[in-house]
Amino acid sequence: MTVLPLASLQARWRAGDRAWLIGGSAERLLDVAQRERDRLRASERILLVESDPVQLLAIFIASVERGCNVFLGSPQWRESEWQQAIALVVPNWIYRKGDRVPSPSLATNVPTPLATFPAIGIPTGGSSGQLRFALHDWQTLTAAAQGFQTYFGGGPVRAFCTLPLYHVSGLMQFVRVLNAGGQLAIASYKSLHFDMHTGALIAEPELVNIARDLFFISLVPTQLQRLMAAGGSRWLAGFGTVLLGGAPAWNELLAAARSESIRLAPTYGMTETASQVATLKPEDFLAGRTSSGCVLPHARVTIRGADGELLPPLQVGTIAIAAESLCWGYLPGNAIAREFLTDDVGYVDDDGQLVIVGRRSRKIVTGGENVTPEEIEAVIRSVPQIRDVCVVGIPDREWGEVVAAVVVLSAPAADTLPTDWVALVKAELRDRLSSFKQPKVWIACNSFPRNDRGKTDCARVREFAIAQYRRQCR
């Protein structure tokens, strides 16, 4: 029988466990959760957009306990994303900045039926770049947490969380701790600073003094690179396991981490699977392996050919996932098949470890965030003087990939774009796209290469953009 989150925390509190939450007040979390549970009604739709982690966890717990449909949102959403979220969710209540307000859309919109009920909606990008939610429930999340616990030997799970709790990678750290016991330490990634002489973390004593060798910490490659550059290698090396996911890590970063004896565990997973379904054990990483490791016990990963046929080891194909943690569908959208065909390409090696080769689509992963080029192209095309645009991802040591916009202007382009035009486009994007979706690189050209159907050859545009970017960086 699955134990709901509030009942689990209440039991720990009655048993005298006051120290399970580090970096926040467990007492305040429990008080807020109990208060909001009594205010909510079963089946209500909750849009939860809180930046305070204790407040977010409390409302999340109350919503799940009461049987509400709860949808997580980013405090960094722009106005257009807010409008999308409200139109999709049609919430009864919006929780934001410590307040609870009724939805302005409830009186004029009919909610879309959900693929599961009660739902836990976690934001993810759609194929067109528009906002959508992967629809989980408490059972899919706990299945992922139980698989994680089993894979790492059972026992309590202790997590040092620096990732946003509205992301699946942040939320699942809380679910794992709740499922297995242990502790959750919460610290903003931007607050992590180190003594350059000793490499020690400069923070509150309760965060400094944790037994790091018993803790997991989860990072995306960009964060790992920046923490190492900021003098945090020795601190990171003290963790029992450093889970690394969200985007492919580059070989130089992996080699640097290995040379510092950082116990990395590269992972593979996504919002749809409630985070990781494959993980390389730290011991294998330090021994020189670079795969995504073996599949966790709650999941099954196969490699499919072009016609859906099952491929043997060492043959590259599309990665397909069947898992107890697989979401039930999307909002907007329909239920998904119980074997999920991903956007990723890879193979299984002779040791049963998953190796990721690349992606099937144009999706860009920058700093652990998914970006759909078509969404950005639509915004740029609305700006005067644009004849054509192609958005691509360029390999980058800090971000994994950076978003680059290659544009064809109505007038013939010079080697560089007019400064005032770039400023105009950036201002247009600032109000319509989240910051991580905004291009960091702008490149001009006179025309795009075309395929035999007359469509832009995005692969060749990307090659051109990479060459231009490297020339700019010299």
- Mention every residue, 6+ apart, whose C-beta is less than 8 A from residue 243: 216, 217, 218, 219, 265, 267, 276, 279
Q: Could you tell me if residue 418 is inside a domain?
A: yes
Q: Distance (Å, rounded) from C-alpha 288 to C-alpha 313? A: 21
pLDDT in tens, 230-276: 999 999 999 999 999 988 888 889 999 999 999 999 999 999 999 99
User: Are residues 451 and 330 part of one domain?
Assistant: no
* Same-domain check for residues 85 and 233: no
What tens digit of pLDDT does each residue of 13-54 get?
Answer: 888 888 899 999 999 999 999 999 999 999 999 999 999 999
Are the C-beta atoms of 432 and 78 separated by less than 8 Å? yes
1 has pLDDT over 60: no
The one-letter amino acid code at 380 reads I
* 306 and 267 in a common domain: yes
Q: Does one domain contain both 304 and 166?
A: yes
Regarding whether 329 and 241 lie in a shared domain, the answer is yes
Q: Of 359, 387, 403, which residue constitutes the final position of a domain?
A: 359
Q: Is residue 86 part of a domain?
A: yes
- In the chain, the largest separation of any two C-alpha atoms, in whole Å, equals 73
- Model confidence pLDDT, tens digit, residues 291-320: 999 999 999 999 999 899 999 999 999 999
Are residues 349 and 376 both part of a single domain?
no
**Number of other residues whose CB lies within 10 A of the CB of residue 204:** 12
Q: Both 233 and 315 in a single domain?
A: yes
Number of domains in the chain: 3
Taken in order 138, 144, 148, 150, the sign of the CA dihedral is positive
Residue 296 belongs to some domain of the structure: yes
If asked whether residues 368 and 299 sit together in one domain, one would say no
What is the structure's pLDDT at 169? Answer: 95
Q: Are 416 and 401 in contact (CB under 8 A)?
A: no
Same domain, 312 and 190: yes
Pair type for strands 45-49 and 93-96: parallel
CATH number at residue 458: 3.30.300.30
Domain region containing 440: 364-473
Asked whether residue 400 is assigned to any structural domain, the reply reads yes
Q: Of 111, 131, 165, at which residue does a domain stop? A: 111
Q: Which residue has the higher pLDDT, 84 or 431?
A: 84
Q: Is residue 280 part of a domain?
A: yes
- What span, in angstroms and rounded, lies between the C-alpha atoms of 433 and 373? 12
The answer to whether residue 415 scores a pLDDT higher than 70 is no
Assess whether 327 and 230 both reside in one domain: yes
Q: Which residue would you say has higher pLDDT here, 112 or 88?
A: 88
**How many beta carbons lie within 10 A of that of residue 367, not counting itself?**
19
Which CATH number covers residue 42? 3.40.50.980
Report phi then psi at 41, rounded to 5.
Answer: -125, 145
The answer to whether residues 296 and 160 belong to one domain is yes
What CATH number is given to the structural domain containing 156?
Answer: 3.40.50.12780
Name residues whose C-beta falls within 8 Å of residue 28's C-beta, 6 or more positions apart in sequence.
54, 58
Per-residue pLDDT band for 454 (boundaries 50, 70, 90) equals low
Cβ atoms of residues 189 and 163 within 8 Å: yes
d(CA 358, CA 373): 17
Mean model confidence pLDDT for the chain: 90
- Whether 107 is in a domain gets the answer yes
| Whether residue 291 sits in one domain with residue 397 | no
> What pLDDT, on a 0 to 100 scale, did the predictor assign at position 90?
93
To which residue do tokens 């982690």 refer?
Answer: 53
Burial (CB < 10 A; 0-12, 13-18, 19+), residue 362, is middle
Asked if the structure places residue 218 within a domain, the reply is yes
Determine phi and psi for 59, rounding to 5 degrees.
Answer: -70, -40
Token duo for residue 354: 């998953």
